[in-house]
Structure 1
Amino acid sequence: MAERKRGTVRDLRRDNRSVLLRALYFGDPRSRQELSAETGLSPASVSNVVRDLMNEGIAVEVGSVDSDGGRPRVLLRVNPAYGHVIGVDVGETRVQIELFDLAMAERAKADYPLDRGHDPGEVVTRILEGIDAVLADGGADPASVLGVGIGVPGVVRQRPEVIVDAQTFGWSSVPLERLLREGLPDGPTGTPLPLLIDNGANTMGRAELWFGSGRGARNAIIGLIGSGVGSAVIRDGSPDNGADASAGEWGHTPLIVDGRRCRCGNVGCLEAYVGAEAMLERYVEAGGDPLPGDQETALARLVLDAATPGTTAARLVDETVAFLGASIGGLINLLAPERIILGGWAGLLLGDRYLAELRAAASRHSLRHLYASTSIELCRLGPDAVALGAATLPLDRFLDG
């Protein structure tokens, strides 16, 4: 019985610490009294946890406010300089690595093209090179890093080790964590640095949920449109990855029966019509000349050319917007979210110019009362949202106490 009691007290202290840390992190600077009222913890519990956090350098004083007839109340917040987190976006054509302080202010960034396509060895090399580069450029001691979060395409299975199946990459059961582990520095206590891996659409969804257009939403869908198409499903305020961590493969839902061949090997998928790679292929199939530059440059040119009515580019983009809007309507009918948020570099490129048309197409393909209760918005965090969201993975672990 004694052992059980000690475990219960330890768990309670950890829970109290996590509640206080999250209140400090996600809110404005506040006093001990305000923290007690907000969290429901007793003033004594708040004082004990705050004392520990300040002794560790995690919480700092940032001023004071007058109180009613008593001493001024000291305001507290999480210390941004306490440590760092790293976020990695493994994309279709490049790997992006970013270093953040605890306020999620970017301190350094590295970007590497994938010259050998999606070879796992090159991806691992680029990630490790990027981690070294951002630590050097940001002047950060490796021991200050609380963890590395990585967003990747495909299905990420977490047990017994992290395995990635990315059909469009040609990855089958790639042991990404094991491949990375040997090259990572140790963490702050000399133990292995925490390494957390998730689907890139999910990490973008976390970023939007914490800091962007999804903030405050209980049920939302965040669509990631780049070379391909993915999504994060938010249920009851948290990502819903489904029974086997594969929920959110929006790009591989059927759009056209017996349609174009998709990169996944099936036919008629949404990604085979709306992904950037597919849009550029369809443009050439429709008679357009291949557009120069990398994929992002070429798609930007295609969207710009589409401003001229009657052109091949205009017809192609109009059709793509209609396809995407219809699929959004299907999501509304199926999941009844509060918000649908479009992100990814290609999603933002389309959404910036065609948001009204996307909303109109979604309205035509959804039930009126469901459409009326759903907002369709753009990602506020820009094309770096995947890396930012990946960095929240180790931050979330830290805030757990």
Structure 2
Amino acid sequence: MEVRRTTVRDMRRSNRSVILTGIYRDGPLSRQELSMRTSLSPASVSNLVTELIAEGVVEEAGSVESEGGRPRVLLRVAREFRYVVGAEVGETRVRVELFDLAMNVLATVDHSIDAPEPAMVVKHVLEGLSSVVATSGVRSELILGVGVAVFGIVDADGVVHAQTLGWDAVPLGQMLAEGTDIPILVDNGANTLGQAEMWFGAGRGATDAVVALVGSGVGAALVAGGSSYRGTRSSAGEWGHTTIVYGGRSCRCGAAGCLEAYVGAEDVLNRYRETGATLKAIDEEAAFAELLELAVAPGPAAAIVDDTIGYLAAGFANLVNLVNPERIVLGGWAGLLLGERYLPRLREEVGRHALRQPYAQVSIEVCELGRDAVALGAATLPVLRLLRDGGALPS
């Protein structure tokens, strides 16, 4: 077994990473605060910050009064040092957004799709990339990378396994990379939603959390000890394909009784239509919103929505008992619609199914970043790489 020795260069990059991550995640911060948070000496912090400022990665952001001394200069990551792009590949649309490093949206483009066929997805992502670059006026060489959020299990090299949609080892990362010189990073949409909410939204401050994505499909991002838990081969978080009813409804994955078959928007609408009732809306999102509006009165819609809340609560209770998170965040476009109307009832139902002690330790919240948090989270993928590399740019 080969043992790799840590060099001075490695240590310096690691220290730069710690400092840069602290400034980005919790800034603006002063040099004194960085020294206290990182346990690095004031001299080390000063030297590394001076480097980062000289390279344009970090900039001064005003000052605050200190007790009995000179004002403390605050530091932040320079928002225009570089730019990032986030793409959300859903089952009905592809959304591409360009951000500065403060995660301000500078340009957005949406493409509606009938079915997420790989070649068509690649075409829309690359066209969207060209469009947001042209609209924003940002030079492509200043873009750190493109983060792409997609359904299914995503290997480290960007190969996608989406059993529910017939994607079998699709080399999406490679297909996208062939059409652009900008680095491509691919991850599961629930994971990117989770990263966005943990960094900027309802998960901020938690170290053990679950961020659930409920849309056409269902998934979850697991965070343990402040780090994303991916499992042996990145497939952890396929919560939608845990069995909620033995021998139950057929799921798109081919199994029976999966949570997604009872909570995913497509299946909720199918259960409603199986009662013989109809909806005016054709678009899935509009139809789901219409169903929730109809559910305010007694009838088939109310019964279906009541069952959906019950199944979702049981799924959350399984997470409470199994993972013991301090926080569960409900997101995804369908999850947001459900949470806006039924969060108190959902919390109550989770309490009926979960063990009392872990239930008393968990808070259940709705995603704070809105329905476009998946694309925002995708854009944090190249930011995360920049932080891990201590501000070094990809070759």
TM class by shorter chain equals over 0.9
Encode CA deviations 1:45-94: one digit per residue, 9 max, x unaligned.
22221121111111112223345565443322111111111111111111
Higher mean C-alpha displacement, 228-237 vs 69-78 = 69-78
Which of 162, 167, 172 is 1:176 aligned to?
172
Q: Please state whether the residue corresponding to 1:82 is helix, strand or coil.
A: coil
Report the 3-state secondary structure (helix = DSSP H, G, I; strand = E; otherwise coil) of the residue aligned with 1:81. coil
Q: CA deviation at 1:202?
A: 0.7
Amino acid in structure 2 at the alignment position of 1:389: G
Which of 296, 301, 318 aligns to 2:306? It is 318
In the alignment, which residue of structure 2 is the partner of 1:165? 161
User: How big is the shift at 1:168?
Assistant: 1.3
CA distance in 1, matches of 2:45, 2:99: 28
User: Counterpart amino acid of 1:29?
Assistant: P
Alignment partner, residue 231 of structure 2: 242
Q: Distance in 2 between matches of 1:70 and 1:213?
A: 36
1:394 aligns with one of 373, 382, 388: 382
State the AA in 2 paired with 1:175: P
Change in Cα spacing, 1:267 to 1:70, as seen in structure 2 (3 Å) is closer
Residue 80 of structure 1 aligns to a residue whose secondary structure is coil
- Distance (whole Å) between structure 2 residues aligned to residue 352 and residue 68 of structure 1: 45
Supply the distance in 1 between the matched residues of 2:292 and 2:66 (Cα, whole angstroms).
57
Q: Structure 1 22/354 Cα, relative in aligned 2: closer, same or farther at 3 Å?
A: same
User: 1:170-209 counterparts in 2 under 5 A?
Assistant: 170-185=166-181, 193-209=182-198
> CA separation in 2, counterparts of 1:263 and 1:85?
34
Cα distance between partner residues in 1 of 2:29 and 2:195? 25
Instruction: Find 1:360's aligned residue among 343, 348, 357.
Output: 348
1:383 counterpart (367, 371, 379): 371
Report the AA paired with residue 398 of structure 1: L
Give 3-state SS (helix, strand or coil) of 2:86's partner.
strand
Q: Take 2:30 and 2:284, find their aligned partners in 1: how far apart are those partners?
A: 50
CA separation of 1:380 and 1:67: change in aligned 2, threshold 3 A = closer
Q: Write the distance in 1 (CA, Å) between the matches of 2:342 and 2:79.
A: 38
Equivalent in the alignment of 2:27: 28
Q: Distance in 1 between matches of 2:282 and 2:222?
A: 33
Pairs within 5 Å for 1:117-132 = 117-132=115-130
Under a length normalisation based on structure 1, what TM-score does the superposition of the two structures give? Answer: 0.93
Deviations 1:221-241 (A, max 9, x none): 111000011111111111111
Distance in 2, Cα, partners of 1:377 & 1:93: 26
Identify which range, 298-307 or 32-41, moves more after superposition: 32-41
Deviation at 1:264, TM superposition (A): 0.8
Cα 1:209/1:66, change in 2 over 3 Å? closer
Cα deviation digits, residues 165-212 of structure 1 (max 9, x gap): 001111001011111111113xxxxxxx32211111011011111111
Structure-1 separation of matches of 2:250 and 2:126: 35
Does residue 371 of structure 1 match 2:350?
Answer: no
Residues in 1 aligned to 2:382 and 2:8: alpha-carbon distance in whole angstroms: 25
- The one-letter code matched in structure 1 to 2:216 is S
What is residue 252 of structure 1 aligned with on the other side? 241
Code of the residue aligned with 2:199 in structure 1: it is: W
CA deviations over 1:253-299 (Å, ceiling 9, x no partner): 11222221111111111111111000111111012114423100000
Corresponding residue number in structure 1 for 2:62: 63
5+ residue gaps, structure 1, are: 186-192
Q: Matched residues in 2 for 1:67 and 1:342: separation?
A: 40
Q: Structure 1 residues 247, 284: CA separation in 2 closer, same or farther (over 3 Å shift)?
A: same
Structure 1 position 153 matched with structure 2 position 151? yes
Aligned pair 1:340/2:328, yes or no?
yes
- CA distance in structure 2 between the partners assigned to 1:62 and 1:340 by the alignment: 34
**Is residue 276 from structure 1 mapped to residue 275 from structure 2 by the alignment?**
no
Provide structure 2 residue ranges, at least 5 long, that are not aligned to the other structure: 391-395
- 1:289-300 correspondence runs (5 A): 289-300=278-289
Output the CA distance in 2 between the equivalents of 1:12 and 1:344: 39
Shift of 1:394: 0.6
SS in 2 for 1:48: helix
Counterparts in 2 of 1:372 and 1:81: CA distance versus 1, 3 Å: same
- Could you tell me the TM-score, scaled by structure 2's length? 0.94
Does the CA contact (< 8 Å) of 2:197 and 2:373 recur in 1?
yes
Q: CA shift at 1:304, angstroms?
A: 0.5
Does the residue aligned with 1:100 lie in a helix, a strand or coil?
A: strand
Matches of 2:64 and 2:371 in 1, distance apart? Answer: 39
Residue 337 of structure 2 corresponds to which residue in structure 1? 349
One-letter amino acid of the counterpart of residue 175, structure 2? L
Identity of aligned residues (%): 55
1:291–1:260 CA distance, 2 compared to 1 (3 A): farther
Q: Which residue of 2 aligns with 1:50?
A: 49
Q: CA RMSD in A?
A: 1.5
Distance 1:67 1:380, change over 3 A: closer
Q: Is the 8 A contact 1:287 1:312 kept in 2?
A: no
| Structure-2 separation of matches of 1:212 and 1:395 | 17
